[in-house]
Amino acid sequence: MSSFPCLVRSSTRGGEARFELGDPLVDAYLAFVAGRARANTLRAVAHDLKTFFGVVGKDPDEVVAADVFDFLALQRGDRTVIRISDGESGLSARTIARRLSSISGLCAAGVWCGSVWLTTEEAETHPVVKEKFLAATSADTVRSRSRTGKPARQLRSAWTDEWEDAETPMPLGMPMQPVLVDAALQRIDRAAHRKGSGAERLANYFVGQIVGTMNQSKSAAQVVYDMIDEFIEATQSLARQLET
Ligand SMILES: Cc1cc2nc3c(=O)[nH]c(=O)nc-3n(C[C@H](O)[C@H](O)[C@H](O)COP(=O)(O)O)c2cc1C
């Protein structure tokens, strides 16, 4: 990664500007921006990301929230820049907000989420498991090798409890554990709709700790709208903090 972040400007065959920084994730994001934003926005995003990664000195997949906050603090106190408007040092709130927007755009493009879709109206999740997810708290998940042979976070149920029992043999490895348990899991799913049955107690599925916030079944579109609302709320709150 020695050349990252090195800003290279080139042109596509169609004559449109293309910016690359030398990292596949970041360059894919810049290509995404190029397809949707005006040339000035693309240039600003490319420069903002070069500045950000130049300062944090990390690979994109190693960046954590604290790096972003450190970066913002540094930008506010940047003594190498004197503003013409008021003669003060540090970048203007508007420039910092734009840089933050460039960084959060990159992060949003890299979001990886799974569990949140499992309780949507469209999800093919077993209805009994869906109800369990909606009622579960974040403490109701467990990392268990019981389904696949590899550790995977899932809903705690009589199934995972039985596999955790000290008297129970250890799960096999991958791929032998699925060979061992798949038929049993299918039978559990088929019988789980019977209220009060052992199968109902055993039924579970993969899910992350975010299950604690999945309390209401909604459409997949609504999940996306909620994410957008949260994003707007978070960026507005950060912008307010930058102004104070
Ligand atoms: C139903 C389901 C199946 C998954 N299967 C795998 C898998 O086979 N391999 C893997 O590395 N991660 C798997 N994951 C984890 C996701 O790749 C992703 O890291 C995780 O779901 C993101 O966190 P979140 O579920 O809290 O949003 C799975 C997640 C879910 C919900």
Which pLDDT score is estimated for 1?
Answer: 47
Phi and psi at residue 242, to the nearest 5°: -70, -30
The 8-class DSSP code of residue 225 comes to: H
105 and 133 co-located in one domain: no
Domain that holds residue 69: 8-110
This prediction's pTM: 0.72
* 188-211: average pLDDT: 97
Together in a domain, 158 and 186: yes
pLDDT at position 14: 87
Same domain, 75 and 37: yes
In a domain? residue 234 = no
Q: Whose CA is nearest to atom 15 of ligand 1?
A: 114
Write out pLDDT tens, residues 19-60: 999 999 999 999 999 998 999 999 999 999 999 999 999 999
Residue 201 has pLDDT above 80, yes or no: yes
Nearest CA to ligand 1 atom 29: 114
List C-alpha distances in Å: 22 to 8, 26, 29, 63, 172. 8, 8, 12, 16, 42
- Range of lowest pLDDT (6-10, 29-33, 88-92, 222-226): 88-92
Residue-wise pLDDT tens digits, 142-199:
999 999 999 999 999 999 999 999 999 999 999 999 999 999 999 999 999 999 999 9
Is residue 244 in a domain?
no
The DSSP line for 153-216 is EEE--HHHHHHHSTTSPPP--TTHHHHHHHHHHHHHHHHTTSTT-HHHHH---B--GGGGG--S
pLDDT score of 221: 96
> Encoding tokens for residue 193?
């709709």
The model's pLDDT over 83-123, given as tens digits with 9 standing for 90+, comes to: 777 777 778 888 888 998 899 899 888 888 999 999 999 99
Cα 124 from Cα 117, distance rounded (Å): 10
Predicted confidence at residue 240, as pLDDT, reads: 76
Per DSSP, 57 falls in state: -
Minimum-distance ligand 1 atom for the alpha carbon of 117: 31
Our count of domains for the chain comes to 2
Please give the number of the atom of ligand 1 that sits closest to the Cα of 118. Answer: 31
148 CA closest ligand 1 atom index: 8
Ligand 1 environment, Cβ below 6 A: 112-116, 118, 206-208, 210
Is 1 within a domain? no
Residue of the nearest CA to atom 17 in ligand 1?
114
